[in-house]
Amino acid sequence: MANYTKTTIGKENRIELHEKLSLTGAEISLNELPAGANVPFVHSHKENEEIYGILSGNGKAIIDGEEI
């Protein structure tokens, strides 16, 4: 079983992700990265989720050895 959930959200004014992502305890931080930036920050959490969202452009993440 994958250790992540990948989803696409629509353009509604308000979107509730708690149930859609089965969240139990999440941390959210906002980061703005320039095109071509790399963030080689490897870490994991045992008791909470992390949420990554891309507001424009595209990106990739490597989770449990799988490129998303």
Residues 3-24 have pLDDT tens digits of: 777 777 777 767 777 777 777 7
**Per-residue confidence (pLDDT) for residue 27, from 0 to 100:** 67
Residue ranges of domains in the chain:
1-9+16-28+44-58
Distance, in Å, from the CA atom of 15 to the CA atom of 33, rounded to the nearest integer, reads 23
pLDDT of residue 25: 77
pTM over cut 0.85 = no
Buried b (16+ CB within 10 A) or exposed e, 30-55: eeeeeeeeeeeeeeeeeeeeeeeeee
Between residues 39 and 1, which one has the greater pLDDT?
Answer: 39
pLDDT in tens, 17-61: 777 777 777 766 667 788 888 877 777 777 777 777 777 888 888
